[in-house]
């Protein structure tokens, strides 16, 4: 999958087309994020009907993601909705309606402002990846999340050379 630049250096009358680049400049200086995890009701229902316990799945995924991020030097701040205060990393577990399979999506968003009106700020998604677990069970779901977190952390490291 290609990475797309989040370059904000365009002048008001200049258009910079998105171009594949090896890293994301919008991930520079990222040292903390708010983390939010959500598991859809459809996923819970499907896991329950398959006999898999879903007790505490969101908490397990949150803890796993927090530990993985901290190993890379990214701390998790306690702000369930960081979209109003800064960087937010969101884990969404849902079902793809086209093939009725689980999906895990990892989205990074941050506040951006308009060049013409710097006081106008809003949250926007700057990095996103989706994965499909090998089966509809907790183990493959967690493995898919680990893979997505590794991709995210690889891009963070690439954007912040030492």
* Domains of the chain, first to last: 25-159 (3.40.50)
pLDDT for position 6: 52
| Residues 108-132, mean pLDDT to the nearest whole number | 91
Is a pLDDT exceeding 90 seen at residue 137? Answer: no
Residue 112 pairs in a beta bridge with 122
Segments of 22-72 assigned E as strands: 32-39
Q: What is the pLDDT of residues 59-113, one digit of tens each?
A: 999 999 999 999 988 999 876 544 467 899 999 999 988 888 899 999 999 988 8
Close Cβ partners of 121 (under 8 Å, ≥ 6 residues apart): 111, 112, 113
**Which string of DSSP letters, residue by residue, matches 76-92?**
EES-TTGGGTS-EEEEE
14 or 50: which leads in pLDDT: 50
Write down the residue that tokens 């459809």 correspond to.
Answer: 42
pTM: 0.79
- Which tokens hold the place of 119? 């006081």
């Amino acid at each position: 999958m290609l990475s797309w630049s989040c370059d904000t250096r365009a002048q008001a009358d200049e258009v910079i087309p998105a171009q594949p680049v090896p890293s994301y400049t919008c991930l520079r200086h990222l040292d903390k994020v708010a983390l939010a995890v959500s598991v859809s009701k459809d996923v819970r229902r499907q896991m329950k009907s398959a006999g898999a316990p879903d007790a505490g799945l969101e908490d397990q995924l949150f803890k796993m993601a927090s530990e993985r991020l901290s190993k890379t030097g990214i701390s998790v701040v306690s702000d369930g909705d960081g979209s109003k205060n800064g960087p937010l990393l969101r884990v969404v577990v849902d079902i793809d309606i086209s093939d009725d399979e689980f999906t895990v999506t990892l989205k990074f968003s941050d506040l951006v402002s308009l060049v013409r009106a710097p006081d106008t700020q809003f949250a926007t998604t700057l990095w996103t990846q989706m994965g499909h677990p090998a089966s509809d069970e907790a183990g493959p779901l967690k493995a898919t999340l680990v893979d997505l977190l590794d991709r995210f952390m690889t891009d963070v490291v690439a954007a912040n050379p030492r």
